[in-house]
A and B are shown apart, each in its own frame.
Chain A
């Protein structure tokens, strides 16, 4: 598979100002019946950066993530990948454009092995006529999975272990690794450490750092402000369905983040 090498090969480590954002949302509107979850939201991800997306409950984080991953096509607005406008009508469209998402709860198939999960929907088939009959090349997938996990520093007993037998942290690492391996542009992580302990959280964040260092862009949705400041390069704040602020993580404190989320400072005040 080798998603990480391909991700680095054709990308530059340091983004230039001329390079368009790898993923960009402009003026996204999304309504559910009478509820307007997103009211012209903007969002920007540049190559090789970790962007945290934060916001109070109901600010529209999940909805924005779902439009960016093709689950909820937006009612209005534009999504651009590498500067080119794209239409994400299904999750498959988003994945074709190199945007992979790890959802909070539905990340993996518990009964399948680690290797099978990493290749789910992208199985390697045997070469020749047997492959055309749908015959799996399990050996190639085992080797590929082991190599990719090793590269990301994900430690699990064996790639043949069913996911159900892994710990919560290992499970989440596999889910995150799966997205990183296949993504060519952006990995979106929705609350990847919400259910994890301290050590396990550290492992997941290590995987994220390695991916970023390899040139991958990562979007991280999180409620954990210290964690956001620890891992993110930039923070985008969503409030009432719109972007309320764009901040550099090394220039702000958790108090600033909370203030931006709740709107108690004057950063980009709401229209009344």
Chain B
């Protein structure tokens, strides 16, 4: 090969590298966003009830809970972990938040603080199980999932917490200038966590730990502390999400959030978070959460049974993870 050819080849290679580097992160997000738009248009034609103010408000509030908890899940997934306990912890937080209002006369805000505290404690437990007891995240959070659900049923006697004041609904059903309150909270959470992940040292360490834990440890990062911190922060968001969910139905439901972990894992993975760790962005997760909420909402409007919804979500998870693996192989085939 002559030197001219070599130079040209290098330039073309560099250009395509540059392009691949730019789009590698955005490609899942773009795919998910396209799917979202297509689904949105399809549902608009398929159901006369879809594009109504009421329904859109409903989708917004529904997305809010999934999006906030999926944001939490994304942080954990970036560390190469997984949090299966989100549904149980959200239920526990919501139930306790409702109980302190009903039985102790707490204000909504104080109750929210309680719910967040419950989430934080559960997150701390998960974090310590993973970092100190060195139990793999899958098993650690599976245990927390079971313990949490058990506690919810013990505390409530398997009966929902009703008899709450109307003001309890503010978080889930209230609005500011016609925008659901829950959506405003979701935007704040998403922007906050996105900033944390992309602009701060805490975020940098989160990606580093998920990408190569040993490299992170040998770089002097206190991985135990940081990993626990990620789980605690995730727990805080799960507690908040559980409280919003309880507020939406104006009651604490002991069986809330069963299989919620699937929805939020799907949302995170659709949005580009990799179960192999080190990758994931909140903007993708929010798109993924919308997609899942639309699937759920559309299924209800089109009278598709909840059991089919489960099937659909499962297939979406397969597709998203397959796509993630395919993308990784492509990326690393260069070697």
Contact = CB atoms under 8 A, between A and B. Distances in A.
A and B from one complex: yes
A135 B18 contact: no
B325 interface: no
B200 A109 contact: no
Contacts of A36: none
Q: Is the interface of A mostly helix, strand, loop or mixed?
A: loop
Interface in B199-246: 199-202, 204, 207-208, 210-212, 214-221
A133 B220 contact: no
B332 A164 contact: yes
A112 B211 contact: yes
Given A103-B218, A136-B200, A109 B208 contact: yes
Contacts of A138: 199
A111 B279 contact: yes
Contacts of A91: 217-218, 220
A109 B80 CA distance: 13
A205 to B, nearest CB: 20
A157 B204 contact: no
A116 interface: yes
Given A111-B211, A112-B211, A135-B200, A158 B18 contact: yes
Interface of B, secondary structure class, is helix
Given A121-B219, A134-B202, A109 B212 contact: yes
A62 to B, nearest CB: 15
Contacts of B332: 164
How many residues of B sit at the interface, in one of the four size bands? Answer: 20 to 34
Interface string A127-143: 00000011110100000
A132 B218 CA distance: 23
Contacts of A167: 334-335
A9 interface: no
Interface magnitude class on chain A: 20 to 34
B21 A162 contact: yes
B21 A165 contact: yes
B221 A120 contact: yes
Question: Could you say which of A116, A164, A168 has the most chain B C-beta atoms within 10 Å of its C-beta?
Answer: A164
Given A164-B332, A165-B20, A165-B21, A109 B201 contact: no
Contacts of B175: none
B60 interface: no
A157 B17 contact: yes
A92 B204 contact: no
Interface string B291-335: 000000000000000000000000000000000000000011011
Nearest to A178: B219
Interface string A82-124: 0000000001100100000101001111111000100011110
Contacts of B211: 109-112
A262 interface: no
A191 to B, nearest CB: 16
A106 B218 contact: yes
A109 B21 contact: no
A162 B24 contact: yes
B220 A111 contact: no
A160 interface: yes
A125 interface: yes
B278 interface: yes
A161 interface: yes
A120 B219 contact: yes
Most B CB contacts (10 A, CB to CB) among A101, A112, A138 go to A112
Contacts of A165: 17, 20-21, 24, 331, 334
Given A135-B199, A168-B335, A111 B207 contact: yes
15 contacts: A91-B220, A103-B218, A106-B214, A108-B215, A109-B211, A109-B216, A111-B211, A111-B279, A112-B211, A116-B204, A121-B220, A121-B221, A123-B204, A125-B201, A165-B20
- Top 3 A-B pairs, shortest CB-CB distance: A111-B278, A121-B219, A109-B211
Interface of B: 14, 17-18, 20-21, 24, 199-202, 204, 207-208, 210-212, 214-221, 277-279, 331-332, 334-335
Interface of A: 71, 91-92, 95, 101, 103, 106-112, 116, 120-123, 125, 133-136, 138, 157-158, 160-162, 164-168
